Amino acid sequence: MSKPDHSDSSDQHNDTMKKRKTQIDAGIVRAGEERGVMILLTGNGKGKSSSAFGMAMRSLGYGFKVGIIQFIKGKQLSGEELFIREKHPEVYFEQMATGFTWDSQDRTGDIAAAEATWAHAQKLLQDDRYHLVILDELTYMLAYSYLDEEMVLNALRSRPEQQSVVVTGRGGGEALRQLADTVSELRDVKHAFKSGIKARKGVDY
């Protein structure tokens, strides 16, 4: 029995990889600008906040200063909150104090809470010691007009040149998308919760 001959497909593969390397190298040469980026993680699928926290981990690995502001305080304590408060107290970490909830009937209270939380964000966005600032679930504050859009966009625009910002949440408007350097839309292909599986500790919260 003879072995199957893969030499053709293997030559083809090498060729493809060579072309790809040339393209990537050219891309690296083009991407010569060194500045902080604004990243928007949006869409209905799972993975927005957890991706943002992944970038916090990356920055912390290099000893960079990180600030995280969460615009919706969940009813449930999360693993990321425990991790940061207990293991990384050097991270600037704030959550919306009064706990904005979806069933809130108190618009005035919500606006006051959003503005108080925004004050922390604004402070970080003016401080060039912070390498990475995460504004988790900020989009909802814009979607509900709890925060003035121009005020938010201006603060993002005028942040220190080397500072990166990650904004998460569904929606948030076209202007925010335009301003971002990177926009990823998480698509909900399927989610365990919809087939009756309970949210998992350490996975979902």
Q: Which one of 49, 139, 163, 164 is in contact with Mg ion (CB under 5 A)?
A: 49
Q: How far is CA 131 from the centre of its chain?
A: 14
Q: Which one of 42, 48, 110, 180 is in contact with ligand ATP (CB under 6 A)?
A: 48
Taking the complex as a whole, the smallest distance from the CB of residue 124 to Mg ion amounts, in Å, to 19
Number of residues that bind Mg ion (CB under 5 A): 2
Taking the complex as a whole, the smallest distance from the CB of residue 13 to ligand ATP amounts, in Å, to 35
Q: Which one of 107, 128, 193, 197 is in contact with ligand ATP (CB under 6 A)?
A: 193
Residue 59 or 160 with smaller CB distance to ligand ATP? 59
Residue 47 or 160 with smaller CB distance to ligand ATP? 47
Q: How far is CA 194 from the centre of its chain?
A: 24
Q: Which one of 81, 115, 149, 204 is in contact with ligand ATP (CB under 6 A)?
A: 204
Out of ligand ATP, Mg ion, none, which partner does residue 42 contact, by CB within 5 to 8 A per kind?
A: none
Taking the complex as a whole, the smallest distance from the CB of residue 147 to Mg ion amounts, in Å, to 17
Phi, psi of 67, rounded to the nearest 5 degrees: -125, 135
Q: One symbol per residue from 153 to 192: x for binding ligand ATP (CB under 6 A), - otherwise; what is it?
A: ---------------x-----------------x-x--x-
Using CB under 5 A, list all residues that contact Mg ion. Answer: 48-49
